Amino acid sequence: MEAEESADVLMHDGDILASTEQFTQFTAPSVVSEPDTENGTLTHNGQRSPVLKGAGLKVAQSLDQLLDPRPDRPRPIKFANLPYSSAQTGLVYDVRMRFHVEPIPVELDMHPEDPRRIHAIFEAFVHAGLAWAKGSDGPTSYHMGRIDAREVTKEEVCLVHTERHWDWIQTLSSKAPHELVAEGDGPLLMQHPPHKLDSVYASSNTPFCAALSAGGAIEACRAVMLGKVKNVFAVIRPPGHHAEREDVKGFCFYDNVSIATKVCQREFGERCRKVLILDWDVHHGNGIQQANYDDPNVLYISLHLNQSNNFYPEGSYRDRRHAYGDHLHCGSGAGLGTNVNIPWRNSAMGDADYVYAFQQIVMPIANEFNPDLVIIAAGFDAAEGDMLGGCVVTPAGYAHMTHMLMSLADGKLAVCLEGGYNLDSIARSACAVGRTMMGEPPDRLVSTEPTKSGIDDVKRVLRQQSKFWPGLLHPNDLSERLAVHGERMHDVVRKWQATTLWEEHEMTPLFVHHQLLSKSFENQVLATPNYMEARPLLIILHDPPELLATPDPRTGKVELHNTWLTDIVKTYVDWAVKHDFAVIDVNLPKHLTSDDDDAEHEDTDSVEFRTREATQLLTYLWDNYVEINESTHVFLMGTNTGHGAIVAFIKANEERARAGITRAISFVEDVPFQTCRSATDEDLDRWYYLHSLVFVAKSHNLWEFTKNNKLKKRYGHVFKSPEEAMSDMLHAHKEGPDGVTANLLRDTAAWRAQKPAARRDEQMEEPEPVRRPPIGNFAISPVKNAASIQASSPRLPASSGDLASNGRRAGSPQKGPPISNFALSRNGTPRSPAR
């Protein structure tokens, strides 16, 4: 085995056969067969041969086989009645593509785009019995039929790239190794000075290898269209889907797949007019997108990791374009709708996510497009084990995607290698794809349940692409129907909550003014009338209540009678009021409705943005409502973003938090977990542990991250919830010895025992207040003297002390709420009441 590997590294090409292109021109009119529609056969020079289903025209056997001395050349179909299933799968592989190497290789620091990549795949094909090599049994008609690669021509390259791009690549062949270094202390190789090359190395053999790679992709597609093989796998390098019109980047020199597409469209005309390019490389194929963005006859679909526009190639463009691979890039001009990006926001995406995307988006759009040829830009860097991708697609996952794509274009499929940098992963994945192409069914999938983030990503794309593809099963755009009048349900629900809490507990809105005057901030902060008194105060920062619905299975409509509202937080409010707690209920909207709402679909604001806004709001409430009152205990309770706001507030206000907070209670379902550690107070994490309750959903990735480690005190007093959904968690942990209410009762036991009887009598004799409903975004003051309620616009206090004096009339025994303005801005800058 060592001798074989050693010999392979030398990369001798003595056994490589010259391309049959030197003997014949496959594009010559005399070679192309003509269809005999009457007999359902193809004729060539008077000879009849059965039609190969989905394989286009068939070159006469006599010409092709006599001129090609290769023993494993494609052979004629084995059974005329089953022309497709008995035909061969083609293979393009040329060891000379391995001559593209680093100019000064370092054995212990191999570049990810390793020349051994293509050999690993070919060797796996041979060992699996899919391909034939000298020294092994065969070849037989069941092996892959070898298709010779050739060098691409300048004319073909310029169908996609500029002439300057071609010329620059050709100059590499005349440069010395020290002139080809792309990084270091010496002179750097540059295509567009002063811009450095982006993730590219080159050698004097690069122009030749890149030409073979692009030419191999062309010949692979031509072999399918000419009927030489039913489908084909092109094991080629360097890859191509990052190469742009005049930029080499991301290991790529020529856009192989786009060049092959344009060549076939030009050569085969109407028989290859519409081409589907499916790119499952973990990186977005920016080059393919650019080359075909306005072409209505090329449908480009890319499934790639995006991480909110923070994953390569985002941020790497010479022209500094932004978010090129997001779901909003759908094509332009006549090609609008023929560019489909399915960007994953999170890594670790697996088979179930990819198959779900295929079922929901890829296949419905592809069937509606109805292509004449399908090309897979097959990067295997989303495979489990790849060091760059971070995803976990298995060989079975790739096989299932291939199997679905084989149902298109009458089976005319070409697979062209792109990325993939773990030699074992790409070999196993490519073998699974090859076996499926040759007729074997895919292996069973281990997991069929997509991740929550994967479903969200697919639905986001589905919503966008449904504008262009009627076949997508998704509700139509509602903006036109809602143009006259409509109100978002989260605003309606909060109004209902405000009314209900007023009727049951006399809770009224505290005045909070948003900079944009969003109606989503009306009624967001509600308080019981006793929030300024000497009693325990519970502040709840929570997400909007959950809305559950069962859409009509035929129309997809959501009817009110099949819709339920789950507001578990209200049960905590009810319990607190029953036990003489004061309550401030803070609803944290997931989206701010603007006054000029266009009724378009709106994504949820980012967790980071919502946490930052919630932290500012909590700080404002603490400064202007909590710190100046007479509360005996202060409990902070937060769900999801509320958890992040509480931890951020404690870390930013260490002394005040430790002095004023009795206990911090958090529920974390699907947001990043926050820890409480201070750079200046080494005891803060210990205090937080003793004064916190943190319930974390069982499906949260915290448990995967810490499964072998004991949680440190900065995480808080953490409990692993047996539930996954927030409503279920709130219900499960309300009661019980370690539940929220039990802890609140224990913490306030002394206060409840010492509560003066006189105070209880006073409460009993207190006259019934006049009940007034909540008015918009205004807090009804508990001040008995009506003259104290100012009708004029409130003045912003200069400090907490000023707020205390301005918030109620001097000398009045009753405490009223501070009347002031506060703006939460999207840029994160609060309009402080201290200004």
Catalytic residue numbers? 242
Asked if 431 and 130 count as a contact pair (C-beta separation under 8 A), the reply is: yes
Measured CA distances, 217 to 151, 235, 239, 517, 705 (Å):
10, 9, 10, 57, 43
Q: For residue 440, give Cα distances in angstroms to 130, 382, 448.
A: 11, 23, 21
**Alpha carbon separation from 672 to 76, 333, 606 (Å, rounded):** 59, 40, 12
Cis peptide before 545 (omega within 30 of 0): no
Q: Which residues pair with 378 in a beta bridge?
A: 417
Evaluated on CA atoms 378, 380, 382, 387, the torsion sign reads: negative
Q: Rounded to whole angstroms, how far apart are CA atoms 383 and 400?
A: 14
Residue 683: in which H helix or E strand, if any? none
**Is residue 275 helix, strand or coil?**
strand
Cα separation of 405 and 399, whole Å?
10
Beta bridge partners of 415: 233, 376
Return the structure tokens found at 460.
Answer: 């986001």
Q: Where are the alpha helices (DSSP H) in 378-419?
A: 395-405
Query: Which residues touch 441 (CB under 8 Å, ≥6 apart)?
Result: 403
C-alpha–C-alpha distance, residues 397 and 412, integer Å: 21
* CA–CA dist 445, 395 (Å, integer): 9
Cα–Cα–Cα angle for 499, 726, 392, rounded to 5 degrees: 145
Q: Residue 204: what are its φ and ψ, rounded to 5°?
A: -65, -20
Residue whose structure tokens are 């050739």? 150
Query: Hey, CA dihedral for 467, 471, 473, 478, is it positive or negative?
Result: positive
* Amino acid (1-letter code) at residue 730: L
**Cα separation, 665 vs 716, whole angstroms:** 10
Amino acid residing at 584: I
Interior CA angle at 440 toward 438 and 446, to 5°?
130
**Cβ proximity of 332 and 294 under 8 Å:** yes
| Residue 631 exposure: Cα atoms within 13 Å on the Cβ side | 26
DSSP tag of 543: P
- Percent helix, percent strand, percent coil in the chain, to nearest 5: 35, 15, 50
Residue 548's CB is within 10 A of a number of other CB atoms, namely: 11
